[in-house]
Amino acid sequence: MGNDSGGSDSGGIGISNRWRRYDAALFRDGSCKVGHIRRVRIQRRQVGASNIYFLPVHANANDFVADFHDVAALLVAKHNKPTCERAWWLDDSLQGERISYLQQDRALPSDIRPYDALAGLTIALGHLDLYSTWNSPRTQILHTMTGGDHRIAHRVEYRSVELFASNQPADALQPAQVCH
């Protein structure tokens, strides 16, 4: 398939075929109820990243939070627990608690539930971002839900560790930094 060959499990640079097969099977088999599209980024004739963007339409913003948990459950079933996960609170104006409390008591994506009042709106306004990452020697998987301007972006990205690191400016925010 041309440049979309990626690396192999035994060597080379790029996302291993094993991870790409998970990517394809994980969301194609109907177990994920969320509509999605896939975009592949080619770097140096290797697959540098594969992104899956989820495109549901919901009347209730909290349904996006349910989607996040559905996708997270599929990823955990395939890859075990994430290496790092974080609910990143940026604004507490819609919450009954102050940000210092939220960052301790509701610090993980699993702490944010679809039945929490205003959880989806909080994300849609950019007050809260959800992050989970899985790391292997060659591939990093990022599962994110972010928002702003009453829109929510939900995606899973499979990154080649070698190719991604070599193409980033020295001051670029790395996903692992979000967890510390």
Determine the pLDDT at residue 157.
Answer: 87
Residue type at position 176: A
Q: Are 159 and 48 in contact (CB under 8 A)?
A: yes
In-domain check, residue 65: yes
Q: Which residues of 114-134 are buried (b: 16+ CB within 10 A; e: fewer)?
A: beeebbbbbbbbbbbbbbbbb
Task: Strand 139-148: give its sheet, edge to edge.
Answer: 36-43, 46-54, 151-160, 139-148, 128-135, 84-89
> Which residue has tokens 């839900």?
145
Determine the pLDDT at residue 148.
Answer: 93
In-domain check, residue 5: no
Instruction: Specify the pTM.
Output: 0.74
Give me the number of domains the chain comprises.
1
Q: Which structural domain, as residue segments, surrounds residue 27? A: 17-178
Closest CA to 148 of 173, 121, 117, 108: 121
The residue length of the chain stands at: 180
Closest CA to 143 of 61, 74, 63: 74
Ordered per-residue pLDDT tens for the chain, 180 residues: 333 333 333 333 333 444 444 444 445 444 455 555 555 554 455 556 777 888 888 889 999 999 999 999 989 998 899 999 999 999 999 998 999 999 988 999 999 999 998 999 999 999 999 999 999 888 889 999 999 999 999 999 888 877 666 555 555 555 555 554
The neighbour count for residue 24, using CB atoms within 10 Å, is: 13
In-domain check, residue 163: yes
Determine the pLDDT at residue 54.
Answer: 83
In-domain check, residue 7: no
